[in-house]
């Protein structure tokens, strides 16, 4: 059954819309380093504004662990979004307080926007606390989810709010679901998936699903570190999810019993923790105890390109390295 999207809403003028987006962007010295996620949400934002909706935009940013931490403030995101829209956005920092509801009401006219601060400043977000979800829902008349990358989470702003408000999908969520559905249902073969990034539990869930439908998975980023560590290689001071090492071993075991290839980097680019040393290319089994892996190496890139050139379906999820640093953005 097709999920209801925002075009199914008959009359948006004057309606307050709680728009859940994924603006979990990388920051550099208090500025947005990469605004791809903001840009991807613009079609939904612009459509809602064009119909006269009053927008309450909300997202998480980083992992403040249920406490207010200024380094995870949404203010830099507000400023970057304003630049893209050419429009003022009212920022509501302490949105969890009852008086914030009045401030939101006063700030919103037809076609206006507020953005509340980091949803994860409150422990009720990740716990899917009903009282917190109800508070968020009281800010609006309609709920729109456009946060595809966060939709699998049982958090208050994802699954809690729809218990109190009519819920619709934004354009980005709808597009991503359509693409993934087509890829997973009838992929043209061979199918190659490139999996990177740092959220190891989520990536392992993706890999488990790909075991059922894919042919080859190429690993990079911190997820590759965890799998290399599972093989017994030293990763120095690199990011490794030690709690997921046993699960990585289980996946290795599964791949030996199925027609499925899981490929790890053969070389990596390393530096020190502060990234002060000149980056160095080493084999994956030559990472020094004080080194940190920041990217896959050139030999791995070349090999991965060869595999990708034979694919008829390519699914890419997450970066291969620390692309925010130009030295690791190749």
Whether residue 252 is annotated as binding a ligand: the answer is: no
Residue 257 annotated as binding site: no
Helical segments of the chain, H only: 36-50, 75-85, 99-107, 123-126, 130-137, 171-185, 200-213, 221-230, 245-256, 298-309
Give the torsion sign (CA, 216, 220, 222, 227): positive
Q: Which residues contact 123 (CB under 8 A, 6 or more apart)?
A: 66, 129
Enter the DSSP assignment of 4: P
Cis? peptide before 288, omega within 30° of 0: no
Do 17 and 53 form a contact (C-beta atoms < 8 A)?
yes
Q: Please indicate if the annotation marks 20 as binding a ligand.
A: no
Is 132 marked within a binding site? no
List the structure tokens of 279: 């980056």
Rounded to whole angstroms, the Cα distance separating 239 from 226 reads 8
Question: Nearest-CA neighbor of 305 among 218, 213, 211, 226?
Answer: 218
Q: What is the strand order of the sheet 313-317 is part of?
A: 261-263, 216-219, 191-195, 313-317
Please tell me whether 328 is known to bind a ligand.
Answer: no
Q: How far apart are CA 173 and CA 37, in angstroms?
A: 12
DSSP annotation of 5 reads B
Cα–Cα distance for residue pair 206/147, rounded to 1 Å? 17
- 29 marked as binding residue: no
Distances (CA, A) of 113 to 22, 60, 92, 93: 16, 17, 11, 14
Is 203 annotated as a binding-site member?
yes
According to the annotation, is 211 in a ligand binding site?
Answer: no
Is 324 annotated in a binding site? The answer is yes
The full length of the chain comes to 330
Ligand-binding site membership of 102 (annotated)? no
Give the span between the Cα atoms of 14 and 85, in whole angstroms: 20
Q: Which residues are annotated as a binding site for (2R)-3-phosphoglycerate?
A: 37, 120, 153
Q: Which residues are annotated as a binding site for ATP?
A: 203, 324
Q: Which residues are annotated as a binding site for substrate?
A: 22-24, 60-63
Q: Which residues are annotated as a binding site?
A: 22-24, 37, 60-63, 120, 153, 203, 324
């Amino acid at each position: 059954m097709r999920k209801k999207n925002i075009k199914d809403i008959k009359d948006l003028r004057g309606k307050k819309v709680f728009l859940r987006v994924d603006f979990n962007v990388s920051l550099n010295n208090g500025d947005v380093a990469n605004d791809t996620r903001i840009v991807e949400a613009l079609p939904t934002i612009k459509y809602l504004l064009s119909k006269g909706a009053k927008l309450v935009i909300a997202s998480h940013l980083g992992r403040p662990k249920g406490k207010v931490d200024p380094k995870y403030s949404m203010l830099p995101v507000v400023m970057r979004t304003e630049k893209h829209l050419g429009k003022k956005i009212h920022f509501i920092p302490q949105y969890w307080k009852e008086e914030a509801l009045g401030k939101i009401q006063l700030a919103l006219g037809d076609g206006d926007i507020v953005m509340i601060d980091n949803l994860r400043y409150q422990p009720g977000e990740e716990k899917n606390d009903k009282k917190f979800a109800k508070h968020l829902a009281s800010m609006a008349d309609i709920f729109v989810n456009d946060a595809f990358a966060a939709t699998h989470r049982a958090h208050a702003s994802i699954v809690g709010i729809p218990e109190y408000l009519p819920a619709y999908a934004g354009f980005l969520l709808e597009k991503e679901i359509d693409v993934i559905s087509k890829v997973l249902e009838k992929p043209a073969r061979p199918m190659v998936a490139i999996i990177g990034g740092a959220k190891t539990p989520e990536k392992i869930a993706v890999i488990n699903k790909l075991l059922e439908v894919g042919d080859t998975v190429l690993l990079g980023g911190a997820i590759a570190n965890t799998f290399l560590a599972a093989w017994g290689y030293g990763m120095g001071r690199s990011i490794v999810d030690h709690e997921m090492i046993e699960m990585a071993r289980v996946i290795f075991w599964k791949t030996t019993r199925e027609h499925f290839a899981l490929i790890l980097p053969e070389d990596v680019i390393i530096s020190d923790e502060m990234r002060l040393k000149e980056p160095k290319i080493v084999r994956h089994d030559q990472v020094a105890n004080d080194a940190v892996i920041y990217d896959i190496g050139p030999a791995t890139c070349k090999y991965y390109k060869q595999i990708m050139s034979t694919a008829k379906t390519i699914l890419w999820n997450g970066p291969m390295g620390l692309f925010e640093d130009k030295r690791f953005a190749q």
